[in-house]
Structures are given as C-alpha cells and as structure tokens.
Structure 1
C-alpha cells in the first residue's frame, strides 16, 4: 500500500542523512517515478524533504527535524532494539526492520544511546543449528506473511516419509527446536512440523485463506493427547548430574554413595525416553519401573547382536 511505503520512506529519511531515489525504488520494488511522487506527497503532508543534486545526491530531511520520544527511556529503547534485531537476524522481515528504524528515530541525538551497555542478548538460534533450518525459517516466514502454500517432504520421528501440502500459520521456537504450526491438507487437520525433519521445501504461488485456529488453542488440545507420563527411579553417575538437572528439580536429586545419585523424574512414556536413556550408556541405571528396564534390556541385546555379527 502506498501509505505504508510513504511511512517507511519517512522513517528511513529520519535515520539517514541522505538516500537516493534508486535505492528507495529497489527497496520497495517500484520505479523511481513512483518514489518521486511519494516524496512530493510527503512534502505536501508537511514533512520537509530536501532534494540534493550531484553524484552524492538524493533526498534528506531538513536538519534537526526529528520526532519526539516522550514515553520510553533510552535504556528501554536499547532493550527493544536489541531484541528485535536478534529476532530479525533469523526472520529477515522487512516489517521488523521498519519497526527497528521507527524506534531508532525516537532516540535523542545526544541521549547517550551508544554508552548504554547491552545487559541481555537474545540469540534465538541454538548452537550448531543446521544451515537448512536457517533458510527454512526465512522462507516459511515469507510464506506466512503472503499466505502462500508450502510443499514439504517430511520425515516423522520413526523416519516415515511423506509429501505434504501445508498452510503455514505460525513459526514456533520451543526449547532449542524450531517448528511450523500449519494446516496439513493431507491429514485435513492442524499439525506441528519440526523444521529439522523437513527434507525439502518448496514455496508455491498458490494463496490460501488463513484459518482461525491459533497455535495456543492447538497447543492446549495437543497436550491433552500426549503420551501418558511414566515416573522413573534412576541411579546415575555424577557425570550425568547436569543432564538430569535439565529434566528435574535439583532438590529431588539424592546422593547415595561416592559419585552416584538417585532421582525420581516423570517423562512421557514413549520411544524418546528409551533413546534418551540409551544415549547415556552405563552411566545411568533404571531401578523402576520394570517394564522400562525390560525394554532397555531388549534394546541393548539387539545392539550387541548387531555388533557381534
């Protein structure tokens, strides 16, 4: 929309001494004549835009023309900008970029912004995140913004692969993993897809009408259908203490003898629990319940058999 583009141009001019018509045209994907018409309209609205000629020419605002910040401190602005920049380092969203520029405009020229320390930084990408996931996040965010269908090749936790056409609705960062909440046309229902399990992705040109279900509504229903919980009594070596503290209260861990501890921890009674326990090898022993011990024994026998053949 023209009004949105004009507002964005004003924000850019408030934060730049000079910007060329060509640069603005490229940024907003219009021709330079459209930019000149926008500048004329901005001038008519009472915002003083000056035109500069020559090799370093372009547009700029009259000196000292700035908006006034009345309600938030420089510290507040620093926190907001740092957070938004962290988010946008992954999403690359032009609307967030514009919002950052708007907030930066509210900072007084001599307000001491540069001297305000960064007391907290939010890095929303976990260590060692796959490059493909970074690209997926950007592409999916664009598809969500434009309401366009996505075709994915997806592998389930049990490596069952399928091709899905999905209506992307929301990107979610949960723990250290990224997910896409979407309506799946194959299943005719809402689903949560883990980005690391998407084998390939294709953004189509087909638009869809966004449905009313929110991620929070879906999440509350999803939790009610999750596997039942099982309480494990574990004995583990001190080398796994930090790992255990990720899944239980530190006060629940009891020392039993030199270098060994016990803990009761409740986890979903599914395939993941077995994988998690096996990943710690002989540093962890399941004391209770017996059915989990039996499953681990069977898995261990199968592993031994595989390596002995």
Structure 2
C-alpha cells in the first residue's frame, strides 16, 4: 500500500504543482508525519522533490520531471486503454481500480505517445451496452459488496460464506472453499468445493457474502481453464431436456441467453443456425421457444413440437373470426 501511496503522491505533485504537507495528508488520508516520511523516501530514491520554505511554501517536483513507461510502445498502451473500456471495466468488480490504473498509464507515457494514444483510444468502443437493434446487453446485476468479498476470499485463499438464492427457492447459506472466478457471456461464476465436492455458483444469485478467517482447503496451483472444461462437460451430461432447434440470426443471442447449455452449432444456408441445446425440462423449453415467435423452429423432440403446436392451436381458436 505504501508503494501505491508514493505513486499517488508523485502524481498529485505533478498535476497540482506546489502542495503543503497538510494538503497532501488530506488527499492521501494519512497523517502529516507519514507524508514527511514519504517525501524523504522519494528523495532517497532519486525523485527530485524539494521544499519551499515560508508562508506560501510547500513541496514541489523539479520542473519537467515525469515518470515514463519507457518499455511501453504506442500499440501496447492503446491495447491497455482499449481493454479497460466497455464491459471489460466491470469484470469482477474492478472497474474503479482499472480506471485508476488507466489514468496512471496515460500519465506515465512519454509526451509524444500520450497525445496520440489518448486520441486513438477514443476511436475504439468495446462491447457497448446495446447493439444496432437497440437490444440491451445481458450484464448481470451483482451486489458490489458481494463481489468484493468473493474476490478477496479467492485471492486470499480463505473460506467464503454466502446466502445463495437458486431459482424458485428461498436463499440458503453455504460455506465453501473458493477456487477461482470465471466470466462467460457476461455471467460470472464462482468455482469452489464444499466438503470436498465440486460446486459452481452464479455470483449474481448471491444475496450476501462474507470472507472468513479460516484458510480454504484447496491446491496451491490450479489450471482454471482445464477445471472449467471439466465442469462444463459434467454439466452437459446431466439429465436435462435436449432440443434441436433452427433459429434466425436475429434471435440467436436471445436463445443462447435462455438455454442451459449448447452442445453443437451449425450454420445453415440463408443465415439460420441449427443448434443442439438443453433446457431444464419441457415447461422451460416451451416458455423459451415461444418467446422467439417465428424466429425459431424446433426440430426435435416431438414432445416439444406437440406442446408448441397445441398452444398455437389454442390461440388460433381463441382469435378466430371477427
């Protein structure tokens, strides 16, 4: 934390010029004595901070001094700024920290790079909140304090206790050993173990969360990518309703946001897509496919085709005639 405070102190002096010890202490939320110690540390490290005595005195940096990321070229800096835009800034609840880091990157760039990179970053937009059809993205609503507790427990290797509200069920309390966080299609999952058994939780379904002081029982090293593939394969093998469906391209995203899992995907002539997906059960499948109107056609199973046909016939009869 002290290293971060020293960087902030230098940036404050660079951006605001002369500042008193009291002003610096107020900005950094530390004591004046701590500021004076930090000034001494910077001077020892070769940062040209000097004091102006007198009534209007304070601390300033030698004119023209700046920190530079000498190993960062234009495209590397642009990649960092672009990655920090759009949905990327909201991943794992680190948007504020990411924004702060981006400001430091821009400030530390050489003068010639800074102007061109700042302009170039304005020309790129990553994952806006709506597409050309004004459809909003399906970003989850995660309680910030919950995300903070989950993230801290994962990084610190401590047990996590949380209230979890599964669909159509009252919240239940779970205590787990967290392994890692995975974000897929704007949904964030906690991979964990509970009493030695594998568990996967949607973070958006956590009502409360608390990092516990007890250390988590987990391996020191973990291949999160391999673990996710294994759990996905296990999930696909569970007893859900398999469905083969043709879907129009303008309805595909909506369908993918509803299904339990996708087993196969094949593009057909004319732009339609043939998908093998799974639903919870027949009721879930009827509800989901009906929402897509004429933008989807179920090919199998026959039980789902019959259920949709019966519903359509009932509505046709209801609205028949004048």
> What's the counterpart of residue 192 of structure 1?
200
Contact 1:69 1:107 in 2 (8 A): yes
> What's the counterpart of residue 242 of structure 1?
250
**1:159 aligned counterpart, secondary structure:** coil
> What's the counterpart of residue 31 of structure 1?
31
Cα–Cα, structure 1 residues 288 and 101, in superposed 2: closer, same or farther, change >3 Å? closer
Q: Give 1:171 shift.
A: 3.5
Summarize deviations over 1:203-223 as a string: whole Å, max 9, x none: 345253473334323202102
Q: Give 1:242 shift.
A: 0.8
1:220 pairs with one of 204, 207, 229: 229
**1:225 aligned counterpart, secondary structure:** helix
Cα–Cα, structure 1 residues 98 and 251, in superposed 2: closer, same or farther, change >3 Å? closer
> What's the counterpart of residue 244 of structure 2?
232
Query: Which deviates the most, 264-273 or 6-15?
Result: 6-15
1:203 aligns with 2:210: yes
**Structure 2 gap segments, 5+ residues each:** 130-135, 257-263, 316-322
Please list, as runs of the form range in 1=range in 2, the aligned pairs for 1:58-207 lying within 5 A after superposition.
59-84=59-84, 87-88=88-89, 91-92=93-94, 96=98, 99-111=101-113, 112-113=115-116, 114-122=118-126, 127=137, 129=139, 132-134=142-144, 136-147=146-157, 149-157=159-167, 159=169, 161-181=171-191, 183-185=192-194, 187-198=195-206, 200-204=207-211, 206-207=213-214
Cα–Cα, structure 1 residues 196 and 63, in superposed 2: closer, same or farther, change >3 Å? same
Contact 2:159 2:176 in 1 (8 A): yes
Q: What is the Cα-based RMSD across aligned positions, in Å?
A: 4.3
**1:67 aligned counterpart, secondary structure:** coil
Summarize deviations over 1:222-273 as a string: whole Å, max 9, x none: 0221234845154x7xxx5411377686841559xxxxxx763211354354
Contact 2:81 2:121 in 1 (8 A): no
> What's the counterpart of residue 298 of structure 2?
286
CA distance in 2, matches of 1:171, 1:55: 54
> TM-score scaled by structure 2?
0.67
CA distance in 2, matches of 1:124, 1:172: 21
CA distance in 1, matches of 2:54, 2:265: 67
Contact 1:8 1:98 in 2 (8 A): no
Cα–Cα, structure 1 residues 13 and 127, in superposed 2: closer, same or farther, change >3 Å? farther
Summarize deviations over 1:105-151 as a string: whole Å, max 9, x none: 33223542443352323358774756554554345334445555443
**Structure 1 gap segments, 5+ residues each:** 256-261, 305-309
CA distance in 1, matches of 2:84, 2:123: 15
